[in-house]
Structure 1
């Protein structure tokens, strides 16, 4: 009887700790995703501001602006579809990088747990 009670208590503790660690892990993943989304939004905002500045200088150049070199390479005009494809490639690279970082973190945790 005592062995069953002890076994049940240990089983409850193990399950409880497993649930706590999973919720902490999911919170960490959610936090990282939120950070990645915030970084993406900052990047997109900065890109929009740069595009607005470029459009402003092209539409109404003032005497002081004429001396400033253009932000993009004047020899290559990039169409909107090309920009979209480049942005898609960049997004894919970011996702792949994030997956590699997650794999490395998992390996580090495994290595640390075997010590």
Structure 2
């Protein structure tokens, strides 16, 4: 079922995001317009409780990186690299719903 909010994630990433290089463990690296943040954020956990994430995070549209998994790497525009530690789905049924990935610094 379509919603008036379908497509909003892509618009937000296009406006607020930056191109990052995503390198899945089993595939070729590619550039994805998405949102990288180092400030703490709060998300809804799987059990409905609010979860605070103090690690850097990467918000990416699920349809742009459906295979994202623990151990994958991403590089931000300033050259720093990060490893995906945890992937949190947002629970949205929209086709452009986001995944929120907790990251760990691996180099620069």
State the TM bucket, normalised to the shorter chain.
under 0.3
Which has the larger strand fraction? 2
Tell me which structure has the larger Cα radius of gyration. 1
Normalising to structure 2: TM-score of the pair?
Answer: 0.22
| Structure of greater relative contact order (alpha carbons < 8 Å, 6+ residues apart) | 2
Normalising to structure 1: TM-score of the pair?
Answer: 0.21
Which has the larger helix fraction? 1
